[in-house]
Amino acid sequence: MKDWLGTSFHEFFLPERIRAVDDHIFSDPNGLSLIKESEAVIDKIITHVLEKGPVKGTQVYKKNGRTFKLRLKVSQKRLKLMSFDTHLSPSAIKKRIVITFARQQTQKPTKKLLKEGLVYYMKNGKSHVRNIQKSPFFHGVIEKLIQLDGALDGHAPATATGTASTTEDLSPSEDEQQEQSRYDTAVRNLYRQDADLPQALSNRLHKLLEEINALTPSLHLLAIEDRHQVKRMIDEDIPDLLDAYRDLDEDDQTEQMSRVYEALTKMELNLQHVQEQENRVKTDRFEYLLKLNEKRYPNKD
């Protein structure tokens, strides 16, 4: 979370729509949910386009959920996304996201495809508008829009050349490499946690670490929410749980060991679910490419 001490002096003089959004607006579960729901809807639209073929003219896709609504307008020149919390959303800060994305075939390679990325919200009784173009929370949404643009033109979804500053590359950036280094250090510290644990807990911890190691090579490719959850588990949840267990007296440790064992097991299952989702994404992309080739090269016989 940024405050006035951590904000550069000149940023106070920038127009509101140019100032970057504070991380805390989207880092809570409700903020993350709005982003993930938006990504899921765009995924369904991509699937629809692949099944029905490229659309002509202007199309409007809508999703009216209980806690959020989404509207995506597709034209020959641009994609315009609006996603917002409804009054039934549990989020304390209701948000409205507006993203305008230029279609790649209508844009010069030297121009940025992301034309507008703003969030409107109310806080402390005042309305605010902030820029989300450089927010890491929206890498996934932008990548989905790039994939949709490719699907609309009959091309395989791939990262656009003009959006390197606003989307994640397949190779880790310098910041991601630093993040990976901190992650590796935290994992090494976890291996030292089993020094004085009962054998059953030690075995369970090592099983959990095996799942963590399996995710390590693709950590920077995970969805933002999943990556945050894995990092929090390593940095806080596991060491805090084991430290609290060690603080108990011997009798209480014996009594509570099964509950600690169960908690570690649930973490392991959660990581397995994340790994399954990652594998599913790879499979979906493979199936997409097969369908795309079937449309491009139909059997003439």
The arithmetic mean of pLDDT across residues 240-252, rounded, is 93
Cα 64 to Cα 27, 37, 170, distances in angstroms: 23, 11, 33
Percent of residues in the chain assigned helix, strand, coil, to nearest 5: 55, 15, 30
Least trusted range by pLDDT, from 41-45, 55-59, 145-149, 270-274:
55-59
3-class DSSP state for residue 108?
coil
pLDDT at 47 over 50: yes
pLDDT band at 10 (very low <50, low <70, confident <90, very high): very low
pLDDT at 160 over 80: no
Q: What pLDDT does residue 164 have?
A: 37
Amino acid in the structure at residue 286: F
pLDDT band at 79 (very low <50, low <70, confident <90, very high): very high
pLDDT at 219 over 80: no
139 vs 120: CA distance, rounded Å: 18
- Nearest one of 186, 205, 197, 189 to 246, comparing CA atoms: 197
User: What are the structure tokens assigned to 255, written together?
Assistant: 């009594």
The arithmetic mean of pLDDT across residues 284-293, rounded, is 71
Q: What pLDDT does residue 111 have?
A: 60
3-class DSSP state for residue 64?
strand
- What string of DSSP letters covers 255-272? HHHHHHHHHHHHHHHHHH
pLDDT band at 221 (very low <50, low <70, confident <90, very high): low
pLDDT at 259 over 50: yes
pLDDT at 254 over 60: yes
pLDDT at 22 over 80: yes
**The most confident of 29-43, 72-86, 152-166, by mean pLDDT:** 72-86
Alpha-helix runs per DSSP H in the chain? 24-27, 29-52, 139-152, 174-191, 199-215, 224-232, 238-246, 250-296
168 vs 164: CA distance, rounded Å: 7
Q: What pLDDT does residue 134 have?
A: 78
Q: What pLDDT does residue 175 have?
A: 57
Q: Where does residue 270 rank: exposed (0-12), middle (13-18), buried (19+ CB within 10 A)?
A: middle
pTM of the model: 0.50
| pLDDT tens figures, 95-131 | 999 999 988 776 555 467 788 999 999 888 889 999 9
| pLDDT tens figures, 177-199 | 666 677 778 888 888 887 788 99
